[in-house]
Each structure stands twice: as structure tokens, then as C-alpha cells.
Amino acid sequence: MQTTPRHLTGRIVNLQHFCVDDGPGIRTTVFFKGCPLRCRWCHNPESQALSKEIMYFSDRCRLCGSCACVCTHGGHSLTAEGHLLDRSRCVRCGECVGRCAFGALEGVGRDCSIDEIMEELLSDRVFYETSGGGVTLSGGEPTMQPDFAMGLLSACKAEGLHTCIETCAYCQTETIVALSPLTDLFLVDWKLTDDDLHKSFTGVSNALIVENLEKLCELGSSVILRCPLIPEVNLERGHLDGIAAIANRLKNITAIDLEPYHPMGIGKTVALGKRPSYENPDFLDTVLADDARAYLQDIVNIPVSIR
């Protein structure tokens, strides 16, 4: 494989230290910006668009006017109704974010080189070594920036770090093939078994995802299925049977993680100036999550956990 320049840049949402739910051990997770799916219930809507964005949290705003003073494009103004962010004028320069003293404005998306990210990742090496952890690429969707993802994974492997990718697996199969030798564990999202429902709730077919799952198992890659549990979307037994069917058929799938719905993506969607397309305000009932786990555990021969 051709060596990727360490100065190559990619766009990320953030880099989170001391993660314990993104693979084995203590991990540092790099959240990539950009995703090809538009899941209605998305928990990280700020990671969907590849472009940089500004989030505005109205409940934090104190109407100080600092953002309006610094914005030279007329994006911010104070009106009788309160603060107004005109996103049609916003060029997402981020000047207003730096002036907001109350955290009402947050910039989403920053460009980093592989070297810059590696410096942060390696600062956590002692935690990887003592816990059996490592680095996880998540998002968004890492395969939306394949060269950057491969370069970052290559740099991690050169340092002897354990690597994971959390992915929706909706990408060119060639990308999956290229990532496989650099990735110790794939955490593959499995949203909906029924293809028509998958198209309706995520915007894309799951056929390519199935193809890429099959390719990963053909290559001998280790895979954990990550399955969101969404009220009124995929809690029926037919979907759970579908999870079991693919897990039992593809022998390199080593575990199933169930991810109960939480509503925290709603506020972030509003902060991005968008209207939520799924507005359930309640966390998934723990009884429903436990029932789904127990049902699946009875029909598969691999561990089923709730994250």
C-alpha cells in the first residue's frame, strides 16, 4: 500500500479521550465529519455534513451582542424576539464562536493533519497499554474520508496501537478491503433489516452494507454488530430475527452490541438550524432493551450486550 503523507489533513468533529464504549479497553476516539446516511434518529447530527457548521443553543444566549459586533457578514442580529442567526449569510468562519462567553455558539468541524492527531493519540499510550485499549475512528463515517482514515490507521499501526473503526459500512467495497489489514476490529452499524424501511429511515439501501459485511468476513476481519434500538422503528421481532440471521451466517461476527435510543440528538439538530425528523423525547425503556437482549441471546451463539 502506498504510504500516506503525515501532513495529509482530514476534517473531524472532535477527539475524545478515555472512551470505554468504542472498543476494548480505554480508547481515544476520533470523530470524523461527514456521513452518507441520514438516520432520522441520529444521535450525532453535527457529524452528518462534511462542511463546517455553527451550532446555536438559544437557552445559553444572554443577548450580549458580541456575536453581532464581530460578524462582518450580518449573520447575527438582536431583534425584539431575541437573537437571530441568519444562516444564509453565515460563512462559518467561527469568529462569533470565539467571542461568545456563554457557550451559546459552537463551531463544528476542524481540519487536522495526521501528525497533529497522532500527537494527541500518543499522549494516551499509557492508558492503552494498561487497559488493552487503543484508537477508534468513528463519526460521522470514517470511510467518507478514506485516504485520511487509511493514513491515520497506518500511523497508529506503525506505533503498535490497537485500532477500531465504527462504520455504517456504506462505502465502496474497495475502501473496506483497503482498511481491513489496518483495522483490528470493525464496529459495524446494523440499523434495519428490511431494505425498504432502511431506505425510508436512513435514506439508503442496506444492500451495500450487507455486501461489505460479507467482504469483511471473507477477509477474516473481526466484526461486532452495533444495533440501535429505536422506538416505533426497529423493536419488532422481525428485525431482531434479521440481526440473528446475519450474525449466525457470518462467522467473523464476534458479538452484538445493542444501543438504546436516547433523545440528545434532537437538541443538537435544532442547534444546527434544522428540524428534527424524529422527535421522541424519551429514552428507551430499559425493560424493552433488556427484552431485546434476552430474545437475541437465545437465538445467537455470541455475546449480546447493551451499551
Q: Got the DSSP string for 58-95?
A: GGG-----HHHHH-TTS-EEEETTEEEE-TTT-----H
- Same domain assignment for residues 237 and 286: yes
Q: For residue 74, with 0-12 CB atoms within 10 Å meaning exposed, 13-18 middle and 19 or more buried, which class applies? A: exposed
CATH number, residue 101: 3.30.70.20
What is the span of the domain harbouring residue 116?
Answer: 9-50+112-306
pLDDT band with cut points at 50, 70 and 90 for residue 243: very high
pTM of structure: 0.94
- Same domain assignment for residues 93 and 229: no
Residue 254 lies in a domain: yes
Q: Residue 255, Cα to own-chain centre: how many angstroms? A: 19
pLDDT greater than 60 at residue 1: no
In the chain, what percentage of residues exceed pLDDT 90?
Answer: 96
DSSP conformational letter for 181: G
Query: What span, in angstroms and rounded, lies between the C-alpha atoms of 181 and 158?
Result: 13
Pairing of strands 110-113, 185-189: unpaired
What's residue 2's pLDDT?
47
Q: What is the pLDDT of residues 276-297, one digit of tens each?
A: 999 999 999 999 999 999 999 9
Is the preceding peptide bond at 140 cis, omega within 30 degrees of 0?
A: yes
Residue 195 lies in a domain: yes
Q: What is the pLDDT of residues 126-172, one digit of tens each?
A: 999 999 999 999 999 999 999 999 999 999 999 999 999 999 999 99
Residue 4 lies in a domain: no
Contact (Cβ atoms closer than 8 angstroms) between residue 175 and residue 142 = no
Q: For residue 190, with 0-12 CB atoms within 10 Å meaning exposed, 13-18 middle and 19 or more buried, which class applies? A: buried
Provide the domain count of the chain.
2
What's residue 5's pLDDT?
73
Q: What is the pLDDT of residues 10-20, one digit of tens each?
A: 999 999 999 99
- Same domain assignment for residues 185 and 61: no
Q: What is the pLDDT of residues 24-40, one digit of tens each?
A: 999 999 999 999 999 99
Residue 251 lies in a domain: yes
- Cβ neighbours of residue 118 closer than 8 Å, sequence gap 6 or more: 6, 152, 155, 156, 159
pLDDT band with cut points at 50, 70 and 90 for residue 110: very high
Q: Strands across the sheet with 162-167, in order? A: 110-113, 9-19, 27-32, 134-138, 162-167, 185-189, 223-229, 253-260, 304-306
| Cell numbers linked to 43 | 444521535
Q: What is the pLDDT of residues 252-267, one digit of tens each?
A: 999 999 999 999 999 9
Q: 136 forms bridges with which residues in the sheet?
A: 29, 164
- Same domain assignment for residues 13 and 159: yes
Mean pLDDT, rounded, for 199-224: 97
- Same domain assignment for residues 94 and 27: no
CATH number, residue 261: 3.20.20.70
pLDDT band with cut points at 50, 70 and 90 for residue 7: confident
* Mean of per-residue pLDDT scores for the chain: 96
